Structure 1
Amino acid sequence: MELKIQPKPFIRGKVKVPGDKSISHRAVIFGSLAEGTSEIEGFLQGEDCSRTITCFREMGICIDIEGEKVTIQGKGLQGLKEPGDVLDAGNSGTTARLLLGILAGNPFYSVITGDSSLRNRPMGRVVNPLEQMGARFYGRIKSGLLPLTVIGGDLNGINYQSPVASAQVKSCVLLAGLFARGVTSVIEPTLSRDHTEKMLQYFGVPINKQDLKVEIQGGYRFSGKRVKVPGDFSSAAYIITAAALLPGSDVTVLNVGVNPTRIGLLEVLADMGADIALENKRLENMEPIADIRVKGAQLKGVSIGGSLIPRLIDEIPVLTVAAVLAQGKTEIRDAAELRVKESDRIATMAHELGKMGAGVETLSDGLIINGPQKLKGASCNSHGDHRVAMALAVAGLTAKRETCIKDSQCINISFPDFEDIIKKL
């Protein structure tokens, strides 16, 4: 599949983006582990979240889907059954890593795998604490890669000092902690996304948070809930950045989750000179939501790193596009995590933007970009990475002549309506 993007002088309009991917995953997980019925509204019907649903169905959970509404008949912490086949997480790192925490807590045999990309992404970062809790794993590279065999059950709580700020690692350990004896705690070097903590509290599970530490008592039972999923900020990021880059633009993205642990991009764009306002602020299932209005402006380069990185890690590909067109130097550091995403996003963005005429210097943990640079239309490749594909589409809106992005079907992982929305603005 090939996505063709025509340049535009500006974009205007009001749009909605798909439901938040992180919250959709977690709503299915907690709905399945709860006792009774949970209803999810605004669920992201993308490939990643569908993998989570399929895996829980394999473990005996009844899940009905009607459009963006999902109804789950939860069976409680002890209600999952041993899957009769290998669980396939597809391309979803969230599905794989969070499910490993749940599989570790259940006294049965299971095997989980993924596609060729996911089978080469690191799993040792979650296997290590789960082994400390008592689970057993068998797999490639000392159980550091999928596929993994899991022998779960009989877990003990631990106090885990995570070497990386990762919502997936933190969530995996906390989910395992639900099944463990005693208290399980996770301490991070810097704060990562806190959707799991908010979802735990919303479902009535008590947690204790203190600075960078969060702890949970094992064995706590909870009941089903109704969850409203806000628009995904990481999807909105492409529309927001495109509007910020094109002078004369005026775009409002409606009903977007603005959790402070997710919106580092807004802070960076504001520092770069973007005109951004949050309107109609409100709260749903403990998650802050707002309409985000963006007007085009001439941006300037900035330095990005440190504790800000976990709050915008998924947005760095599109932020790289903004840096190419900004006035002056932009330096991105402390983002080595980009090397082990769906693609090596540091190398991939530099290579593909190079096809469009941009010079981008790569570092082991980031990028250096001197702007402004003029982009030309080119034939680019997504490398199977949905965030790279959409970032290149934003670049195409600012380029001279048409840009073609090959292997663009990967966009369906998180933003199935992306092409239609971009073309209608």
Structure 2
Amino acid sequence: MRVIEVKPVKLKGTIKIPPSKSYAHRAVICASLSNGISTISNVMLSDDVMATIKAMESLGANINYISEDVPDFFTLVIKGSYPLKVKNNIINCRQSASTLRFTIPLALTTNEKITFTANGRLIERPLDDYYKIFDSKKILYQNNNGLLPLIVEGMLKSGVYRADTHITSQTISALLMTLPLLEGNSKIKTQGPLSSKDYISMTMDIMSKAGVAVRFDNNTREFLIRGDQKYNPLEYTVEADFSSASFWLCVGAMGCDVVCNGLDLHSKQADKALLAYLSAAGAKIMKNSEGIVIRADGGLAPFKINIDATPDLLPAAAVLACSIKGLSQITGLRRLKFKESDRIKTTISMINGLGGDIVEISDGLIIRGTGSLEGGMVHTANDHRIAMAAATASVISKKSVIISYADCVGKSYPQFWDDLRRAGGKIEEYYMGR
């Protein structure tokens, strides 16, 4: 186990924000479904993105990698094809829920028996929405008492689909990418609140760039999908990731001189909402020639935010709340039990372990901030966002922050520790037995 100790120093520097893995997933899939050669540039080969690349290779795509000038960034040259030509009937989704959920419907266009496996907590994450679809559409499947591995067999057909959006929007995105390929028109009827609608917008954005159109009817709350469409090859550059940037934006709001390079203020990404949250708390958001800078020279006011549409922001927002004197409240946590960890529990554990004051209420957390933390040990539960949030907590801590399973950042942001050093972070590394 790799353990990292982050010493309590203020950070300063310019961070090139890594590319969005949410957009990368979608671009790799859409490119793999086109009959032609696509070029996807500015791709970071995080564990999750690699899971999608390998999954699409299993389903027939040929994908080559070209190194870019920036370390760890690549251009992908993808030769896709549809109908899919299965090369490997076992798809290991690693710990990537996006890979799993996005590729299940695609596997059901091949008329082959496909097995989905995974690692870590993804094995336990619920797929009940898919099981309901399988039952209604007479698709054969096997699982392990509702958990992975999952074996599917059969052919997806066009028609009317009902999608429960209470837990995740990924099933809708998956159906949106797959149903246009089928013969005949389809509808997706949404049931429940449309969670993470910005992620659905991102899916539709990439699809439209590949020449595939779907429409959402606001009156009936249905997605209308014309069948027999074809994906065109893509020439696409993946934009910078607001989820990864959230840690650096919060560091800026906690008094550090950090510039976030590469962010698009017109992005459709859900986590761009952090800028609005920071502004409402009193931060100044400025743009210079190098990127976005957050200033909070007069201090921030305690905040109350609902992160139902932006659940990945919880760990960073909880640390930020500790830096602000007074009571802050974060609500909209209903989906966070099903992340890489039970992220509500691990966030509480992180703040408590660092000497903060945090309590759980119904669908929310209250943080009593004092302006600083003591420091201490954080057990990440192998959750990348907990590890990165804990690292940022060092800038308001009196003593070092010690972080277990530090390699877990590779799931989304492999060069995080290098970027922390580049910004002046003082780091010691240790290796311990499990």
1:100, distance to aligned residue in structure 2 (A): 1.1
SS in 1 for 2:36: strand
State the partner residue of 2:13.
13
Structure 1 unaligned spans of 5+: 281-289
The equivalences for 1:103-252 within 5 A come to: 103-141=107-145, 144-164=146-166, 166-180=168-182, 181-187=184-190, 189-190=193-194, 191-193=197-199, 194-211=201-218, 213-246=222-255, 249-252=256-259
Q: Which residue of 2 aligns with 1:287?
A: none
What letter matches 1:71 in structure 2?
V
User: What is the distance in 1 between the residues matched to 2:24 and 2:9?
Assistant: 33
Do the aligned residues in 2 keep the contact of 1:89 with 1:115 (CA within 8 Å)?
A: yes
Separation (CA, whole Å) in 1 of partners of 2:131 and 2:322:
38
Contact 1:133 1:156 in 2 (8 A): no
Contact 2:252-2:293 at 8 Å conserved across structures: no
Shift of 1:128: 2.5
1:154 CA displacement: 4.1
Runs of 4+, deviation exceeding 6 Å: none
SS for the counterpart of 1:138 is strand
- Whole-Å separation in 2 of the counterparts to 1:316 and 1:18: 19
- Contact 2:30/2:231, CA 8 A, preserved across alignment: no
Alpha-carbon distance in structure 1 between the residues aligned to 2:116 and 2:19: 26
Deviation at 1:178?
A: 2.7
1:216-270 deviation per Cα after TM superposition (whole angstroms, max 9, x unaligned) = 2222112211110011110011111111112xx3322121243253312111111
What code does the residue aligned with 2:186 have?
A: V
| Structure 2, unaligned runs of 5 or more | 68-73, 424-434
CA distance in 2, matches of 1:268, 1:154: 42
Of stretches 183-192 and 41-50 in structure 1, the one that deviates more from structure 2 is 183-192
Tell me the distance in 2 between the aligned counterparts of 1:372 and 1:49. Answer: 38
Per-residue deviation at 1:186?
Answer: 4.6
Helix, strand or coil at the partner of 2:263? strand
**d(CA) in 2 for partners of 1:236, 1:331:** 22
* TM-score normalised by L of structure 1: 0.90
CA–CA distance in 1 between the matches of 2:278 and 2:133?
A: 36
Of 352, 355, 379, which residue of structure 1 is paired with 2:377? 379
Q: CA deviation at 1:333?
A: 1.8
The answer for the alignment partner of 1:87 in structure 2 is: 91
The answer for the alignment partner of 2:427 in structure 1 is none
| Matching of residues 41-52 of structure 1 within 5 Å | 41-52=41-52
Whether the 8 Å contact between 1:5 and 1:396 is mirrored in structure 2 is yes
- 2:104 equivalent in structure 1: 100
More displaced 10-residue stretch of structure 1: 11-20 or 181-190: 181-190
Shift of 1:153: 1.1
Residue 42 of structure 1 contacts residue 69 of structure 1 at CA under 8 Å; is this kept in 2? yes
Residue 286 of structure 1 corresponds to which residue in structure 2? Answer: none
**Cα–Cα, structure 1 residues 64 and 241, in superposed 2: closer, same or farther, change >3 Å?**
same
The 1:89–1:378 alpha-carbon spacing in structure 2 relative to 1, beyond 3 Å, is same
CA distance in 2, matches of 1:413, 1:419: 13
- Alpha-carbon deviation of 1:19? 1.2
Instruction: State the superposition RMSD in angstroms.
Output: 2.1
> 2:211 is aligned with what amino acid?
G
Summarize deviations over 1:128-174 as a string: whole Å, max 9, x none. Answer: 33543453321133xx4221001131413224253426331221221
Once the two structures are TM-superposed, the CA of residue 127 in structure 1 deviates from its matched residue by 3.5
Paired residue type of 1:251: V
